[in-house]
């Protein structure tokens, strides 16, 4: 029996197809199933081919191919798409990866790069690693009332809106969480039920126990209704929940409580990005400094931590450069101060974009979600392709 992985090659230029075929001959475990000079036939076959690698040149008609890639990822989740293009601008790379391609290679294709990417894909397929690896983003501060929940909620809403991918929003303030209130939701199941049953829930069942926000791709896990129940939830259960969610979601946004305990640390450990939230006043900056010391002790890479200044006003007494010097971390993002809109959103139980999409905070959240998603995409690309694209 032929156990080779099928490769579908879609490229208008015959010469270019021949080069790729010659390279593929040197890759063990793959075989060319079909080659196409037109997109329609190529994507049609790919949509019914199950597990396969689709190598497609996007140079000629990028917008059309991006749409084709999106459609293919919906009809065949097991298609691993590698996009080729004569242009390697960061904008194009991000667009195509956001559409669902796993990798990007610029043309002319360099053999060593091609072989490395193919071998990474094959090893991922063999180890059954999910290709759309989920990213966990946490909002954290050891100070209360600083904007952690506002940021987690609005960012999660915008990520779902921007990417259209599944986003989970998890409330880890197990005693007095606000996430459900901020979105005016009354989830029938909360963290305690999910924690108790996580080992017995199928992916489908887990999704059904979560509450979908309106008609979006955002799903919420709220804090337990009953405070007593929160004490029974263990760090191991939190790990199990996050592991299970990673198989279903593209992004998990966690609103982490201010308490530093084993549950918080589990969630922080699991996070790909920690948004360390500060506001511009001395006590908050001191607390932020302490958080950085904690992260240092926990051995976190500097890249994992992104310092976010909330309620920012131009002409603050304390300058950004001074904060950066004290905290020893660059400021990654600033969210403007807009108490009226933020409060109105909380009181109505909606994200800020529903209060006024043109307000400075709503626009800022949209840009923030885009920056984070672009950053995570380029990180993934740099890891896969072993090279540097910077956002
Ligand atoms: N950008 C902003 N501009 C003005 N006010 C803001 C902004 N972001 C949040 N706030 C306000 O700050 C207050 C605290 O916000 P939030 O509940 O999100 O903080 P938190 O850190 O989650 O608090 P807790 O520690 O109690 O969970 C709220 O009244 C909210 O409206
Ligand atoms: Mg909160």
Judged by DSSP in three states, 316 sits in: coil
Question: Considering only the top CATH level, what class is 5-126?
Answer: alpha beta
Q: Does residue 148 line the site of ligand 1, with CB under 6 A? A: yes
Distance of CA 285 from the midpoint of ligand 1 (Å): 16
270 near 239, Cβ under 8 Å? yes
Q: Does residue 149 line the site of ligand 1, with CB under 6 A? A: yes
Nearest ligand to residue 344 Cα = 1
279-297 per-position pLDDT tens digit: 999 999 999 999 999 999 9
59-101 per-position pLDDT tens digit: 988 899 999 999 998 888 889 999 999 987 888 888 888 888 9
CA 103 to each of CA 92, 135, 214, 259, 271: distance values in angstroms, whole numbers, following the listed order: 12, 17, 33, 39, 23
Is a pLDDT exceeding 50 seen at residue 131? no
325 near 361, Cβ under 8 Å? no
Q: And the tokens for 45?
A: 């076959």
Nearest ligand to residue 146 Cα = 1
Question: What are the residues whose beta carbon lies below 5 Å from ligand 2 (ion)?
Answer: 148-149, 178
Is a pLDDT exceeding 60 seen at residue 388? no
Nearest ligand to residue 348 Cα = 1
Where in the chain do CATH 3.40.50.2300 domains reside?
5-126
Q: In this structure, which residue's CA is closest to atom 7 in ligand 1?
A: 311
Cα-to-chain-centroid distance, residue 107: 28
Q: Does residue 342 line the site of ligand 1, with CB under 6 A? A: yes
Q: Does residue 337 line the site of ligand 1, with CB under 6 A? A: yes
Q: Report the C-alpha gap between 53 and 122 in whole angstroms.
A: 9
Q: How many CA atoms lie within 13 A of 214 on its CB side?
A: 10
Q: Does residue 69 line the site of ligand 1, with CB under 6 A? A: no
Q: Does residue 10 line the site of ligand 1, with CB under 6 A? A: no
Q: Does residue 144 line the site of ligand 1, with CB under 6 A? A: yes
DSSP-derived secondary structure for 87-147: ---HHHHHHHHHHT-SEEEESSPPHHHHHHHHHHHHHHHHTT--SS--EEEEEE-SSTTSS
For residue 75, give the nearest of 95, 104, 98, 45 by alpha carbon.
Answer: 45
What number does CATH give the domain 135-370?
3.40.50.300
Element (H, E) at 332: strand 331-336
- Measured from the CA of 361, which atom of ligand 1 is nearest? 1
Burial pattern 302-332, b for ≥16 Cβ within 10 A else e, equals eebbbbbbbbbeeebeeeeeebeeebebebb
Nearest ligand to residue 143 Cα = 1
Q: Does residue 298 line the site of ligand 1, with CB under 6 A? A: no
Q: Does residue 343 line the site of ligand 1, with CB under 6 A? A: yes
Q: Does residue 276 line the site of ligand 1, with CB under 6 A? A: no
- Return the number of other C-beta atoms located less than 10 Å from residue 189's C-beta: 16
Distance of CA 91 from the midpoint of ligand 1 (Å): 33
Distance of CA 346 from the midpoint of ligand 1 (Å): 9
Nearest ligand to residue 341 Cα = 1
123 near 320, Cβ under 8 Å? no
Judged by DSSP in three states, 56 sits in: strand
Where in the chain do CATH 3.40.50.300 domains reside?
135-370
164-218 per-position pLDDT tens digit: 889 999 999 988 899 999 999 999 899 999 999 999 999 889 999 999 999 999 9
For residue 252, give the nearest of 371, 363, 163 by alpha carbon.
Answer: 163
Q: Report the C-alpha gap between 78 and 4 in whole angstroms.
A: 15
pLDDT tier at 1 (50, 70, 90 boundaries)?
very low
Distance of CA 149 from the midpoint of ligand 2 (Å): 4
Of all residues in the chain, the percent with pLDDT exceeding 70 is: 95
231-271 per-position pLDDT tens digit: 889 999 999 999 999 989 999 999 998 888 889 999 999 99
- Measured from the CA of 335, which atom of ligand 1 is nearest? 1
Which phi-psi region, left, alpha or beta, contains residue 52 (left: φ > 0; alpha: ψ -120 to 50)? beta
């Amino acid at each position: 029996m032929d156990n080779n992985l099928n490769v579908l090659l879609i490229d208008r230029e015959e010469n270019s197809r021949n080069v790729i075929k010659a390279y593929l001959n040197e890759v063990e475990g793959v075989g060319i199933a079909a080659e196409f000079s037109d997109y329609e036939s190529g994507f049609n076959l790919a949509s019914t081919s199950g597990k396969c690698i689709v190598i497609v040149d996007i140079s000629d008609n990028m917008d059309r191919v991006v749409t084709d890639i999106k459609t293919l990822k919906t009809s065949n989740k097991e298609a691993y798409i590698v996009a080729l293009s004569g242009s390697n601008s960061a904008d194009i790379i991000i667009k195509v990866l956001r559409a669902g391609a796993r990798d990007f290679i610029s043309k002319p294709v360099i053999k060593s790069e091609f072989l490395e990417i193919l071998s990474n894909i094959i090893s991922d397929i063999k180890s059954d690693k999910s290709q759309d690896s989920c990213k966990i983003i946490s909002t954290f501060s050891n100070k209360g009332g600083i904007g952690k929940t506002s940021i987690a909620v609005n960012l999660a809403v915008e990520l779902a809106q921007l990417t259209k991918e599944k986003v989970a929003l998890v409330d880890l303030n197990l005693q007095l969480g606000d996430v459900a209130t901020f979105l005016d939701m009354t989830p029938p199941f909360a963290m305690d039920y999910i924690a108790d049953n996580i080992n017995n829930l199928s992916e489908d069942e887990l999704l059904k126990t979560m509450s979908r926000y309106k008609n979006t791709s955002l799903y919420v896990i709220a804090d337990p209704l009953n405070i007593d129940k929160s004490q029974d939830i263990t760090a191991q259960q939190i790990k199990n929940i996050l592991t299970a969610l990673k198989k279903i979601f593209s992004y998990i946004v966690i609103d982490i409580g201010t308490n530093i305990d084993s549950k918080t640390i589990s969630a922080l450990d699991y996070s790909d990005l920690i948004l360390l939230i500060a506001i511009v006043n001395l006590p908050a900056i001191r607390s932020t400094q302490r958080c950085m010391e904690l992260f240092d002790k926990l051995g976190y890479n500097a890249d994992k931590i992104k310092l976010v200044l909330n309620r920012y006003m131009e002409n603050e007494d304390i300058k950004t450069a001074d904060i950066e010097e004290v905290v020893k971390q660059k400021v990654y993002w600033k969210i403007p101060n807009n108490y009226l809109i933020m409060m109105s959103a909380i009181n109505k139980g909606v994200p800020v974009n529903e209060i006024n999409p043109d307000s400075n905070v709503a626009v800022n959240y949209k840009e923030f979600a885009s920056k984070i998603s672009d950053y995570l995409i380029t990180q993934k690309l740099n890891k896969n392709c072993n090279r540097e694209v910077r956002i």
